[in-house]
């Protein structure tokens, strides 16, 4: 069951990057709104956002199929870590008891980050990956 669980985790986390990347690439206005609201305007320019979206989709697809995991898993961790940091207020205080504007719907960012760590920790046990040894 472990190999199927790792496959499911890898595919779901990788596909999340594909979805986020596609949002940046194909719905630039939404991507710019997200960049401005959560990332201090980082990459809030159409061309930069499109390039970032395309790269994010490529990383996500590599994660999905298990290609170059030694390199793409740390990139995935950085991307998911940046998202976690961007919504950390909502992770710490999901019900706005301390911080105004928190949102309980952002709490899963912590779980996504933990899943990314798990993929790195159990990389050698993921036998259904394209680059398995």
Tens digits of per-residue pLDDT, 3-16?
A: 999 999 999 999 99
Q: What is the pTM for the complete model shown?
A: 0.91
List Cα–Cα distances, 36 to 31, 32, 40, 54, in angstroms. Answer: 9, 6, 5, 19
Distance separating alpha carbons of residues 123 and 132, to the nearest angstrom: 9
pLDDT in tens, 72-117: 999 999 999 999 999 999 999 999 999 999 999 999 999 999 999 9
Distance separating alpha carbons of residues 18 and 36, to the nearest angstrom: 21
| φ and ψ at residue 27, rounded to 5 degrees | -125, 70
List Cα–Cα distances, 119 to 114, 116, 126, in angstroms. Answer: 9, 5, 8
User: Residue 62: how many CA atoms within 13 Å on its side-chain side?
Assistant: 18
Note whether 84 and 113 are within 8 A (CB): yes
- pLDDT for res 75: 98
């Amino acid at each position: 069951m472990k190999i199927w669980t790792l496959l499911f985790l890898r595919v779901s986390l990788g596909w999340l990057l594909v979805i986020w990347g596609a949002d940046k690439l194909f719905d630039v206005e939404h991507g710019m709104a997200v960049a401005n609201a959560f990332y201090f305007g980082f990459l809030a320019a159409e061309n930069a956002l499109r390039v970032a979206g395309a790269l994010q989709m490529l990383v996500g697809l590599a994660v999905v199929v298990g290609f170059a995991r030694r390199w793409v898993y740390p990139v995935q961790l950085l991307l998911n870590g940046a998202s976690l940091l961007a919504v950390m207020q909502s992770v710490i205080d999901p019900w706005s008891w301390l911080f105004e504007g928190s949102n309980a719907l952002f709490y899963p960012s912590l779980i996504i980050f933990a899943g990314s760590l798990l993929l790195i920790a159990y990389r050698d046990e993921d036998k259904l990956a394209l680059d398995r040894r």
